[in-house]
Amino acid sequence: MDDAHEEMLQAIEVEIKRHVAANQGAADSAEGIRAWWLPPQLRAAPLEHVIAALERLARDGVVEKRAVGVGFVYAAARPGPTRH
């Protein structure tokens, strides 16, 4: 993976994290996330980049991937139980 690709993925991840932090009930398809959650300068990003960023955020527990019909929706992850 080249540096420009990685920088774009990181920029997409930052914006998605920002969106779910401000909108805890947020959920949408990858297409909807690209169109509505990302700032204008990132809306032209290839859908594959958005999906790759979402998959990384799902792996890290920031978003949850849910099967809906024939596709997927990504939603803000629900906080887990607090450990003491």
- Indicate the pLDDT class of residue 82, thresholds 50, 70 and 90: very low
User: Is 7's pLDDT higher than 70?
Assistant: yes
Burial tier of 38 (Cβ tally within 10 Å: 0-12, 13-18, 19+): buried
Tell me the per-residue pLDDT of 27-71, one tens digit each, with 9 for 90 and over: 999 999 999 999 999 999 999 999 999 999 999 999 999 998 888
Instruction: Please name each of the domains of the chain with its CATH number.
Output: 3-76 (1.10.10.10)
C-alpha dist (Å) from residue 34 to 2, 45, 48, 80, 83: 22, 8, 11, 27, 34
For residue 81, the model assigns a pLDDT of 57
